[in-house]
Amino acid sequence: MPKIEIPLGDFLSLAEMDNTDNLEKLLESLKAELDGLNEKTVKIELNDTNRPDLWTAEGVARGLRCWKNGAESHLDSLSDPAVHIDVHSDLKEIRPFIAAFTATGWKVDDDGLESLITAQEKIASSFGKERKTAAIGFYPLDEISFPVSYAVTSPETGFQPLGGEGEMTLAEILLKTEAGLKYAGLLSDFQKYPILRDSSGAVLSFPPVINSHSTGRVVAGNSRLFCEVTGTDWHTVNLTATILACNLEDRGAVIGPVEIRYPDGNVTVTPVLYRDTLTATLEEISEMIGTDAEELDIEALLSKMDYSEIEIGEGSVTAVMPPYRRDGIHPRDLMEDIVIAIGLNNMEPVLPSEYTVGSAAPVEILARSVKALLVGAGCEEIMRPVLTSFDKISTRTKTPEPPIRINNPMTAEYGVVSNTLLPALLEVESSSGHAAFPHRLFTVGEVLRRTGDTLCHTQMNLAVSTGDGDFGTVHSILGVICHLRGLELSLKPLDDARFIPGRSAVILIDGEEAGILGEFHPGVLEAWGITVPVAGFELPLESLRG
Amino acid sequence: MSETVSKDLHPLEKTLLNWLSEYGPGSDTEIMAGTGMDEGSYRRALQWLLSRDMALILSSAKTVTVELGPIGSDNLEKGTIPELALLEAVGSGTSSLPEIQKNELFERAQWGSAMGALLKARILKKGPGGLVLNDPSGGVFPAIWSSVYSVISDGEIIHLSELDEKVAAEVSGRAPRRGKSRAEFVINETTSSVVEISAPGREAFENARGRSTIGILTREILASGEWKNGSFRRYQVDIPPSRIHIGRLHPYAMFLDSVREKLQAMGFQEMKGSLAESEFWNCDALFMPQFHPARDIHDAYYLEDGVEVEPPSRELGDKVKAAHENGGKTGGRGWEYTFEWDRSLKAIMRSQGTALSARTLGSNPDIPGKYFGIAKCFRYDQVDATHLPDFFQVEGIVLGEEINMRHLLGLLKLFATEVAGATEYKFVPAYFPFTEPSVELHVKHPTLGWFEMGGAGLFRREVCEPMGIDVPVIAWGLGLDRMALLALGLSDIRDLLNPDLARLREMKSTPEKLLGGEDNA
């Protein structure tokens, strides 16, 4: 979940708040949590991954203002575009989309600059998929002579990157700069790279990697900015530009749209303002909230959530989401905002009145019965993780059936899925040489086994082992369980690499093959570092159902 | 031990043996109080018994206490000691000894020796105009008043060993071994022992009483009736028992079972699923878009190539695909991207218990119906004190024609009181990819304080519609790890699945400790 850190003074002034009293509670309406607060900064964690507008100081502050004062207008009196960007061909496969705007009349201060940088980082990294679908650039407007061209160029093109010592080629930037190394993967499939230049030919930036040193450096004191967003997904690019434009407007800038001219003759004026219109019937609202919607002031409620053009007509509500949001994809999303505005703690909880019968899963009921017998037999229950290692299952224990491997393990220690429980009991034995003997252990748990050539299935197994015990000990334990469950137990000799030859067997329950039982081979014990004789058995729990 | 010796027992010895055999072991004071012996008689009797091994000293401790002597008592009555009074006089401008000695609070000699002590400790020095304060702290003397006199005047006993080292030295120096009538302090040393009867002592005592002693009661003693003529050796019943190791259920399994029981009692039926799932059931069916950051937070473990799980029906798959791409028949517009069927079929280790709920929705669930699952889940996290490679999640669904937001809140309230035993709770708006509205339940537990206990919401139409479910569905999940750790007295989550039997044997069997309900109120 994104976390942002905002200078406290900047935050309070943006949010039009005198102090931070009640801030934690107010943030709940934005699905945000207060993560830290001191005299200088406020830290906020945002839980809604579909609301990149909230990952900025301006967005959170706007939400709090609207909650108090009602909806605001956003970018509703944009002038005609004064400047344009020419998009050249050959970008289609690489990075086809661009949106841009100018922001003038607000003098960038230190807090504002910090906020621009935070927005750039948070939005481009998470919402923009590490700059793939959207990357952001800010420039001092007066350094640029329009029109700007968005084109592709050879990796040998050179310019001085922001923070660099001198001119470098694009290829060098990817190899030698921090940003280059981080984002080179986005361009590795291509022979040519995107480039933004102004009409004098000066490089503005090498998107999505880095701005130019001469034209791409915004400092406190600038009051005329140019902002562009490039990326591989149009809606991500345009929404990002819209969010940034709304944020700068909130700080007092006048936003000027920019015309984008595509090589096929299409022309778009950006940012393109979204006005997602959502409609829900009063009946479905009433059904969902469990109260008659007619009794609610829905207009006031939606206004708190910054909706505009709220119309309550014949049995339904229609409202327009603010342009910085695009997460309203179903009437339910409108309804949730009504619920948030009402306040969850203002709704009276009631219990479902329809009668239902509770029950545990059959295998769990069986497990409970069998476990009660094992405890009576003096066995101690063990619980171990399902993920384990190939070493434990195959190399040390010599289990004949190979376990299913994890393709992307975090460590080899958890690189396979258990297909047997006996290795877990041997692991306990090898860690418990200092615990008073004898050890009678059991574990009941799910394992993952292959079904045929490609499929797999989950099965609940039971394994029992005895430390400082022999074949007879485990045989007796299994024997008494079968006896008390009314099952007929017999053993059929079968050699198995895990056990001493002649001291292992297939378990037959009521004549059906169920599992294996044996006395572990000293070689297996040695591999585990176990210094006492150990015997054990394992079978599917269901085989004890009878 | 022969008859002759036991007959030789002195009456004082018999008194002492009698007490020790009935009530022992005991301390000197307990024994003297219990037998009514004076100290002299007791010490003699004990000495005799010790010399014949009929009694044992279990432990003995020396205690050194400080009391006030006659001078000290006078000082306490006067409310100060000469040194402090003298310092006060110098502090208020009286700088010559003869001047000070006019004050009759203390004798002239006392003033004199106080001055000597203060000069020696360099607290005072002699200046041209008389006595001058050199060390305003007053050295050790204020502490003598505050930590000795004041404490004694409060009626408490002072142990020399508990005093500050410097104070103790000064106090010892003022406690003469002779001439106690002029002493400021008296130091008392006493040795206190705990005495126990020995086996020979017991035998001698029993013989002296003319009866046989029965140790372990045997079948033979019962059969012969021998017990009628003997007496039973008294066991020392207050020693700790020896530890035995018994068969037992794992406390964490018991904790999960008690949660299972609670949910059954609330009318939920249990769902079971597979450790391995397709991304279809784990994510797609839950309307988590294939491209979305929401999917990143569920980073999953993928199974080795060539291992698959049963694919969903293509018909169902197409409905889910439509819901993602354009909303299908859900009334929404979907996520507007191209859904990849191949991605849906990838086999992963189940990353969320909600996968079980999705499967239940897709297999003709009861309506009205309530379901829960205690599911092993796998998250791509480093293992540490708060993360295990796999862990249990408790989740479920409630379906019904009448279900609405207020029922969802009612259910969460029930979880807060019944499962967590919470005293207060609140609801907070939340975000989950598959529910809208979404709610977090925060509870105030009597021991844990406020914590986030779980989340819930109404399943989105995009989740229900493809499964053919047209009634509202509540989806809920509870995080129980913190409660499990506290109930079992642990702080590291890895201890829940510890392979060390010795430590497992130390784990407390108190799984029901934190669960709510009347029994545990």
Please indicate, yes or no, whether residues B149 and B110 belong to a single structural domain of this protein: yes
Rg (CA), chain B: 41
- Do B112 and B226 share a domain, yes or no? no
Q: Which of residues 300-329 of B touch A (CB under 8 A)?
A: 301-310, 327
Nearest Cβ partner for B266 among A358, A409, A458: A358
Could you give the C-alpha distances from A26 to A324, A340, B359, B495, in angstroms and in order?
Answer: 20, 11, 37, 38
On whether both B101 and B45 belong to a single domain, the answer is: no
Query: What's the gap in Å between the CA of A478 and the closest CA on chain B?
Result: 15
Residue B6 has pLDDT above 70, yes or no: no
Residues of each domain in chain A carrying CATH 3.30.56.10: 3-69, 277-345
CA quadruple A79, A84, A90, A93: dihedral sign = negative
Residue B297 has pLDDT above 80, yes or no: no
**For residues B293-299, average pLDDT:** 62
Q: Is residue B311 part of a domain?
A: no
Task: Give the residue from B397, B398, B391, B385 showing the smallest Cα distance to B275.
Answer: B391
A463: amino acid identity, one letter: A
- Residue B113 belongs to domain spanning: 67-186
Taking contacts as CB-CB distances below 8 angstroms, the residues of chain B near A127 are: 293
User: How many domains would you assign to chain B?
Assistant: 3
Residues A329, B333: C-beta atoms closer than 8 Å: yes
* In chain B, residues 162-221 whose CB comes closer than 8 Å to chain A: none
Looking at the fold, whether B86 and B17 belong to one and the same domain comes out as: no
| A428 part of contact set with chain B, CB < 8 Å | yes
pLDDT band at B520 (very low <50, low <70, confident <90, very high): very low
Q: Which of residues 353-392 of B touch A (CB under 8 A)?
A: 366, 368-370, 376, 378, 380-383, 388-390
B305/A352 Cβ within 8 A: no
For residues B47 and B135, membership in a common domain is answered with no
Residues of chain A contacting residue B413, judged by C-beta atoms under 8 Å apart: 349
Indicate whether B290 belongs to any domain.
Answer: no
Q: What is the pLDDT of residue B210?
A: 67
Q: Do B378 and A28 touch (CB under 8 A)?
A: no
B13 shares a domain with B73: no
pLDDT digits (tens, 9 = 90+) for B166-225: 888 888 888 877 766 778 888 888 788 889 998 888 888 877 776 667 778 999 989 998
Q: How far is Cα B387 from Cα B403, in angstroms, rounded to an integer?
A: 35
pLDDT in tens, A250-307: 999 999 999 999 999 999 999 999 999 999 999 999 999 999 999 999 999 999 999 9
φ/ψ of A98, rounded to 5, equals -145, 140
**Residue A455 tokens, joined:** 């499929």
Tell me, yes or no, whether B497 and B364 share the same domain. Answer: yes
Does B339 map to a domain?
no
Dihedral (Cα; B25, B27, B33, B35), 10-degree rounding: 40
Q: Are A198 and A148 in contact (CB under 8 A)?
A: yes
What is the CATH architecture assignment of A362-544? 2-Layer Sandwich (3.30)
Ramachandran class of A188: left when φ > 0, alpha when ψ lies in -120 to 50, beta otherwise:
alpha
User: How many CB pairs below 8 Å do chains A and B form together?
Assistant: 269
CB atoms under 10 Å from CB of B125, counted, come to 12
B430 φ/ψ sector (left φ>0, alpha ψ -120 to 50, else beta): beta
Question: Has residue B153 been placed in a domain?
Answer: yes
Q: Is the pLDDT of residue B230 over 90?
A: no
Q: Are A136 and A124 in contact (CB under 8 A)?
A: yes
| Tens-place pLDDT, residues B299-349 | 889 999 999 999 999 999 999 999 999 999 999 999 999 999 999 999 999
The SS3 assignment for A396 reads: helix
Q: Does B436 touch chain A (CB under 8 A)?
A: yes
Please tell me the distance from the alpha carbon of residue A35 to that of residue B116, in angstroms, as a whole number. Answer: 65
Cα A220 to Cα A112, A255, A434, distances in angstroms: 8, 19, 67
Which residues belong to CATH 3.30.930.10 in chain A?
Answer: 362-544
Any domain includes B240: no
User: Is B304 among the domain residues?
Assistant: no
- Cα Rg for chain A, rounded, in angstroms? 33
Q: Could you give the 3-state DSSP secondary structure of residue A231?
A: strand
How confident is the model at residue B199, as a pLDDT? Answer: 87
Rounded to 10 degrees, the C-alpha dihedral B61/B62/B65/B69 comes to 140
3-state secondary structure of A211: strand
Q: Which fold has domain A277-345?
A: Phenylalanyl-tRNA Synthetase; Chain B, domain 1 (3.30.56)
| Same domain, residue pair B214 and B90 | no
Domain-located, residue B456: yes
**A45, A327, A369, A407: which to substitute to probe chain B, counting the most B Cβ within 10 Å?**
A407
| Spatial separation of the C-alpha atoms in residues B242 and B262, rounded to whole Å | 36
3-class secondary structure per residue, B330-358:
CCCCCCCCCCCHHHHHCEEECCCCHHHHH
Write the DSSP string, B140-190.
Answer: THHHHIIIIIHHHHTT--EEGGGS-HHHHHHHHHTS-SS-GGG-SEEEEEE
Residue B85 forms part of a structural domain: yes
* pLDDT score of B477: 93
Q: Are residues B178 and B75 in the same domain?
A: yes
Q: Where in chain A is the domain with CATH 3.50.40.10?
A: 83-270
Q: What parts of chain A have a pLDDT lower than 50? A: none
Q: Verify that B513 and B492 share a domain, yes or no.
A: yes
Question: Do residue B74 and residue B175 come from a single domain?
Answer: yes
Chain B nearest-CA residue for A48 = B431
**pLDDT tier for residue B2 given thresholds of 50, 70 and 90:** very low
Residue B519, pLDDT > 70, answer: no
The pLDDT of residue A266 is 93
Q: In which band, very low, low, confident or very high, does the pLDDT at B1 lie, cut at 50, 70 and 90?
A: very low
| The CATH number of domain A3-69, selected from 3.30.56.10, 3.40.50.300, 2.60.120.10, 3.60.15.10 | 3.30.56.10
Task: Say if CB A516 and CB A493 are below 8 A apart.
Answer: no
Contact yes or no for A306/B372 (Cβ under 8 A): no
What is the model's pLDDT at position A23? 94
CATH number for position B466:
3.30.930.10
CATH superfamily of A83-270: Phenylalanyl-trna Synthetase, Chain B, domain 3 (3.50.40.10)
User: When comparing pLDDT for A420 and B86, which is higher?
Assistant: A420
Residues B474 and B376 in one domain: yes
